[in-house]
Structure 1
Amino acid sequence: MAEKSVFAGPMVRRLRRREGLTQAAMAQALGISASYLNLVERNQRPLSARLVFALTDRFDIDPRALRQDDAIGGVDGMRRRLADARFSDLEIDRDEIAEWLAAAPQGAAAFVRLYDMAGAGGEGEGPDSALIARREIERWRNHFADLDTAAEELADELRLSAGDLGSAMAERLRQRHQLSVRVLPRDVMPEHLRRLDLHARQLQLSEMLDPASRTFQLAVQLGQLEQGEAIRALASGAGLADRQAERLFRRHLGNYFAAALVMPYGRFLRACEATGYDPTVLQRRFGVGFEQLAHRLTTLQRVGQRGLPFFMLRIDRAGQVSKRFSGASGALLLESGSTCPLWSLNAAFERAGQLHVQSVVLDDGTRWFTMSRTVQGSGAGGRGQGADFAVGLGLTADLAGQLADARGIGLDIGDATRIGPGCAACHRADCMQRSLAPRGVALRFDERSRGLTPFDFAGA
């Protein structure tokens, strides 16, 4: 609450009415004047720290309830939803969203609930469990302080027992949980990468896991055993009505703890700052893959010890998005179901394993610096068929000067490649790469002329 002013007039007004108090009576209970309370209820004054304490003490409420916009991700969370192509003609700007959240937070929350339950793909599709889980992750800005602290403490303890983290985790599983670790051939575990066999007291890992993935799976299992209760409490506390969404959220929390154990917050952030967030160095230093590193970089939001606000996206060769985490970046280019072919994320497949860097600008004027490269899925199928993906990392160009990989790259708007959120959601009329007309526009037809694309419409 100390980080920015809190305007919670509607919440205070509902609390007063719930208690059956007049403004004068509530003001007296809080030790303030009725005129000041009237200004607070009309959002003309923010809540002071003293008033927050008085409200929580006198009326026994959770102070987090005073920041109802946090439940929907604040202004950035609402902007991501309104970036949907179905709202593109409304041109709702950031100031309007802020006014909406301040004046009618319950109405905004109702819109968010309906939108999230319907799913981003369109009306009538029913609940999108993955979307609901992702919105909950965004509400936390993908930072779970208690899990980070627990993982950091365990990592320090494991470092004292052995120099190699994987060996230390295997030994802890053996001593504390009576589980041995066994690596099995692919033909024995054709459909699994990790399996817990309680009858044999074994944690079984596939030989198809590379060293980084093997260490990560050990960390996942250790987290389930030692932080399972904390993870379940966080998941159930989210109050997600969709059970699949809750399970997806719980799985994310388990993976979050594993990443925090392999890359402990304090040591990892210091390494990031010392190396200019150099992905190659960080991968070597912590023994992780590029995708694991990308996940971790979206989580660095510890109060008083924040890292740079990265976003992360993963696509397959068809351009389908299988993972996306905006963290604290507020990146709207993650909200589309497809990606722009002018973004080098798509070109990463052409040069597998190489890092592609690019400065891009969206039609709203926001500039981003992105890093992309291909990764292989963990393990392989029973017929030896693996999976290839491209993972993109990015952050606002204003902060990219701190990155080792941004040196020598033009970050001004004139140096940036203009990209969009995918053809179906992009309203640029002059893009020669366009393959689809944008949704919701009226096409124009002129038999006497031919434009740059087959689709003529009033664009941006």
Structure 2
Amino acid sequence: MAENKIFAGARVRRIRNGLSLTQTAMAEALGISPSYLNLIERNQRPLTVQLLLKLASVYKVDLDELQGEASGSVAQLREMFADPLLAGELPGDQELIEVAEAAPNAATGILKLYRAYREQSSRLKDLSGLLSGQGHMAALSDARLPMDEVREVFENRPHYFARIDEAAEAFHAQLSATEDSAAALKDWLRKEHGLTVRALPVHVMPDLRRRFDRHSMRLFLSERLSLQDQLREIAMEAAQIAFPEAIAADLDQLAFSTSEARRIGRFELARYAAHAIMMPYGAFHSAALRAKYDLDVLSARFRVSFEQAANRLVTLQRPGVSAVAFFLMEIDHAGHRLRKAGAQGFPQARFGGNCPKLNIHATFSQAGQILADRVEIFGGGEFLVLARTIDGPRANFQERIRRTAILIGCDAAHAPETVYGEVPIATVAGGTACRLCERQGCLARAEPPVTRPLGLDEMVTGLSAFDFQ
């Protein structure tokens, strides 16, 4: 210790400031002059062995805290300043050490900001590809999040999982013959596995939808959930107990690259399995054909929500027993796309789903009402689209409810096969997305197309703020 000089001015200053002491007060307690303490805090004098021991005894300071270096922060700061954007800014490591020593919290904040910059930079690399790919999703960078990978996999494949559907039908046949699916599932869980289900009030479980206590073998559900959503949570638990092998087999086919993506994928497949139990494929397929895909009728017949029936409708693609190929999209008030699914993969190239004229945006002003349109896409393609809002868990007083909107659609050629095609409905002239659409005179245009030059004639003003040639 006598051979190695210890310069720890910043740490001594932090100790003093933390105790709200003046230099005079601390110097008096340590038996040194205020001017000498000032030199120590400015790293112009090292700490002696006697001062180290005095600091430890008077202020109960850990000696390791005074002798150690912020090596971890220095290494991370060194890596940050090796970035080409910052290379050459510092001649050596001395300033990095001073920053890490004198202001460790600020150093941590700088590192967090740099990591956020790197992540956003990686995620924006493919922006030009997304805008110019005529609606096709470009390959994302290696830095994508696990949730991004899961969404890409589920959105670009047929939304039908044969093993899960077959296992769910077989399991449903074992349940008690009753119209109350929730009662039948609860009875099976209790008799076969000693598991009971209980709904808890909001103040007991304020932040969770569900919680499974393995010790007491109880499944707790939030009272915020509707009866249909509670049923889905019960069915998810039953599916993972009754046929985990089928879920695992279909999960393996998706070949996720990380364990986190696989965990999220397993949850999505459990959700799919719950719908398959609540609405067995054969029975739901027959009912859908007879009802001409009337979602209100299907919701009432199977005692499920509109959202659950719509989700099940897009899965009816069993070979030899298929139905109209529906696709689905869900967004929130701000226009964030939360989910996409489709029997043949979401028809991104022809439909897109980003046009502001779609009825999914208008439905927020008519909550709970189904809006039906025919959408004629610029460049080819016509679709029948239905949209309706769905409400999330029940909110407390003065808490805003979580409301999203679902769009479910199919090729307009299949409209006569549905109840929604039996009456005349409006035809909307839309597009895949404003940046890819060249429709002239569109009142709803929000961005200019990337494929055409802007019109800059000062003598002529078009209907849109983004006139183009």
**TM-score, normalisation: structure 1:** 0.69
User: Which residue, 361, 369, 375 being the options, matches 2:390?
Assistant: 375
Amino acid in the other structure paired with 2:182: G
Per the TM alignment, residue 227 of structure 1 is displaced from its structure 2 partner at its CA by 2.4
1:71-110 Cα shifts (integer Å, max 9, x gaps): xxxxxxxxxx99943224xx99xxxxxxxxxxxxxxxxxx
User: Which residue, 128, 133, 139 being the options, matches 1:116?
Assistant: 139
User: Which residue, 370, 377, 401 being the options, matches 1:355?
Assistant: 370
Secondary structure of the residue aligned to 2:139 is helix
CA contact (8 A) 1:85 1:440 kept: no
Aligned counterparts of 1:83 and 1:327: Cα–Cα separation in 2: 26
Aligned counterparts of 2:366 and 2:276: Cα–Cα separation in 1: 30
CA contact (8 A) 1:186 1:208 kept: yes
Q: CA RMSD in A?
A: 2.7
Structure 1 residue aligned with 2:16: none
Structure 2 residue aligned with 1:85: 131
The correspondence of residues 37-436 of structure 1 with structure 2, limited to 5 A, is 84-88=130-134, 115-118=138-141, 126-138=143-155, 140-160=157-177, 162-328=178-344, 331-332=347-348, 336=352, 339-380=354-395, 384-409=399-424, 416-436=427-447
Per the TM alignment, residue 137 of structure 1 is displaced from its structure 2 partner at its CA by 2.6
Per the TM alignment, residue 423 of structure 1 is displaced from its structure 2 partner at its CA by 2.4
Aligned counterparts of 1:334 and 1:235: Cα–Cα separation in 2: 29
CA contact (8 A) 1:276 1:404 kept: yes
CA contact (8 A) 1:83 1:332 kept: no
The correspondence of residues 443-454 of structure 1 with structure 2, limited to 5 A, is 443-454=454-465
Aligned counterparts of 1:126 and 1:426: Cα–Cα separation in 2: 30
Q: Residue 280 and residue 237 in structure 1: after superposition, are their counterparts in 2 closer, same or farther (change >3 A)? A: closer
Aligned counterparts of 1:363 and 1:435: Cα–Cα separation in 2: 16
Aligned counterparts of 1:224 and 1:380: Cα–Cα separation in 2: 29
| Higher mean C-alpha displacement, 147-156 vs 449-458 | 449-458
CA contact (8 A) 2:157 2:345 kept: no
Per the TM alignment, residue 232 of structure 1 is displaced from its structure 2 partner at its CA by 2.8
Structure of higher CA gyration radius: 2
| Structure 1 gap ranges (5+) | 1-80, 93-111, 119-124
Q: Residue 82 and residue 155 in structure 1: after superposition, are their counterparts in 2 closer, same or farther (change >3 A)? A: farther
Secondary structure of the residue aligned to 2:407 is strand
Secondary structure of the residue aligned to 1:117 is coil
Amino acid in the other structure paired with 1:429: Q
| Higher mean C-alpha displacement, 444-453 vs 218-227 | 444-453
Amino acid in the other structure paired with 1:349: F
Q: Residue 237 and residue 142 in structure 1: after superposition, are their counterparts in 2 closer, same or farther (change >3 A)? A: same
Amino acid in the other structure paired with 2:316: L
Aligned counterparts of 1:317 and 1:384: Cα–Cα separation in 2: 16
Secondary structure of the residue aligned to 2:462 is coil
Aligned counterparts of 1:393 and 1:383: Cα–Cα separation in 2: 31
Q: Residue 154 and residue 83 in structure 1: after superposition, are their counterparts in 2 closer, same or farther (change >3 A)? A: farther
1:363-385 Cα shifts (integer Å, max 9, x gaps): 13211011111100134479743
CA contact (8 A) 2:210 2:233 kept: yes
| Higher mean C-alpha displacement, 275-284 vs 382-391 | 382-391
Amino acid in the other structure paired with 1:208: R
Aligned counterparts of 1:140 and 1:84: Cα–Cα separation in 2: 19
Secondary structure of the residue aligned to 1:339 is coil
Aligned counterparts of 1:364 and 1:377: Cα–Cα separation in 2: 37
| Higher mean C-alpha displacement, 448-457 vs 302-311 | 448-457
Q: Percent identity?
A: 31
Q: Residue 288 and residue 333 in structure 1: after superposition, are their counterparts in 2 closer, same or farther (change >3 A)? A: farther
| Structure 2 gap ranges (5+) | 1-126
| Higher mean C-alpha displacement, 173-182 vs 243-252 | 243-252
Q: Residue 226 and residue 83 in structure 1: after superposition, are their counterparts in 2 closer, same or farther (change >3 A)? A: farther
Amino acid in the other structure paired with 2:430: I
Structure 2 residue aligned with 1:19: none
Aligned counterparts of 1:299 and 1:324: Cα–Cα separation in 2: 12
| Higher mean C-alpha displacement, 351-360 vs 418-427 | 418-427
Q: Residue 116 and residue 228 in structure 1: after superposition, are their counterparts in 2 closer, same or farther (change >3 A)? A: farther
Aligned counterparts of 1:315 and 1:272: Cα–Cα separation in 2: 25
Amino acid in the other structure paired with 1:409: P
Aligned counterparts of 2:247 and 2:129: Cα–Cα separation in 1: 32
